[in-house]
């Protein structure tokens, strides 16, 4: 790839216990993190939210790296990765994620997304159903409840006050790097995306995780109504005390929950994650293992 620019040079101190690497996808330099010594285990890729990089997903991803071949890319146009000549929309990002997996030689994967990463997962599943084993949708965003843009900005502002202060040190540089023009273009893509239609198409085990303090989510009744309308492959769990960036703020609870979901085990609190947060199962689809038989 030649001499790296300042943006390509690794930080003085690694951001993560995961290995930091570069590759090229569709002519774009793409930065990603990966299990240092990928275990002989199923692949799990974490996809970030609107305007952000994969940095804030690392607390959860690192906790799962011992059990899964873990990948955390900065999608094209985000974080430290390069930008495409034209602004990418949700379908473009889903295709880019697939081509990144091609580059890594990975055929099938479990996808874990936060916020915008959830529509990207739904689009990935729409185009590549044979390549996705399971889906984990954390704080899904981009629906009618987040429109118009001024409403979404207000929701994000309220959420900022509910996240750990250290989250701002991660988010602000990412948002500044992403830029205002990209923000408007990406938001337009999210508002036009058929999130509910794609969700109803899913026929794989799907875990949806929401926080009870997330201002970007609709009412619990509406969330449960949507989950109930699917083909009953959905497990819906609420983390009490969590806002929007659950992968960052409640990594212990989320990683524990993902492990339980992947192993089809009962949803119980993690005794190793002390504090006021607790897990509450809201909806379990009939095609998932029943509580009593797990």
Which CATH number is 32's domain given? 3.40.50.1820
Compute the chain's Rg from CA coordinates. 18
Of the two residues 243 and 188, the one the predictor is more confident about is: 243
Residue 127 has a pLDDT of 97
Instruction: Kindly state whether residue 14 falls inside one of the protein's structural domains.
Output: no
* 240 within a domain of the structure (yes/no): yes
Q: What is the CA angle 21-183-222, rounded to 5?
A: 100
Residue 135: beta bridge partners? 111, 206
Q: Is residue 184 part of a domain?
A: yes
> Hey, what are 40's tokens?
């002989």
Q: Is residue 4 part of a domain?
A: no
55 is a domain residue: yes
- The values of phi and psi at residue 87, to 5°, are -60, 135
More confident residue, 274 or 241: 241
Residue 233 lies in a domain: yes
- What is the number of domains present in the chain? 1
Boundaries of domain holding 193: 19-285
Q: pLDDT grade, residue 8 (50/70/90)?
A: low
User: What is the pLDDT, as a whole number, of residue 231?
Assistant: 66
pLDDT band with cut points at 50, 70 and 90 for residue 4: very low
253's CB contacts (< 8 A; 6+ apart) are: 239, 242, 246, 269, 270, 273, 277, 279
244 part of a folded domain: yes
Task: Answer yes or no: is 290 within a domain.
Answer: no
pLDDT, one tens digit per residue, over 141-183 is 766 656 666 677 676 777 777 888 999 899 999 988 988 778 7
Q: Which residues pair with 57 in a beta bridge?
A: none
């Amino acid at each position: 790839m030649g001499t790296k620019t300042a943006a390509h040079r690794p930080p003085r101190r690694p951001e993560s216990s995961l290995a930091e690497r570069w590759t090229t996808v569709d002519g774009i330099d793409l930065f990603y993190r990966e299990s240092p010594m990928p275990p002989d285990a199923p692949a799990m890729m974490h996809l970030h939210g609107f305007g952000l990089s994969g940095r804030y997903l690392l607390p959860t991803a690192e906790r799962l790296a011992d059990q899964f071949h873990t990948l955390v890319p900065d999608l094209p146009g985000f974080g430290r990765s390069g930008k495409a000549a034209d602004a990418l929309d949700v379908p473009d990002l889903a295709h880019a994620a697939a081509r990144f997996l091609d580059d890594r030689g990975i055929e099938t994967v479990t996808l874990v997304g936060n916020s915008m990463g959830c529509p990207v997962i739904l689009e990935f599943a729409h185009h590549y159903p044979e390549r996705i084993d399971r889906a984990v949708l954390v704080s899904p965003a981009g629906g009618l409840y987040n429109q118009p843009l001024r409403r979404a900005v207000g929701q994000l502002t309220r959420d900022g006050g509910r996240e750990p202060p250290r989250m701002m040190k991660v988010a602000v540089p990412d948002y500044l790097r992403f830029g205002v023009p990209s923000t408007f273009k990406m938001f337009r893509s999210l508002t036009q995306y058929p999130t509910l239609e794609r969700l109803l198409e899913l026929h794989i085990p799907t875990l949806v995780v929401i926080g009870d303090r997330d201002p970007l989510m609709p009412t619990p009744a509406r969330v449960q109504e949507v989950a109930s309308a699917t083909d009953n492959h959905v497990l819906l769990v609420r983390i009490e005390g969590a806002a929007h960036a659950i992968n960052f703020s409640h990594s212990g609870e989320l990683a524990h929950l993902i492990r339980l979901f992947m192993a089809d085990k009962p949803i119980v609190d993690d005794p190793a994650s002390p504090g006021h947060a607790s897990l509450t199962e809201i909806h379990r689809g009939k095609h998932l293992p029943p509580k009593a038989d797990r």
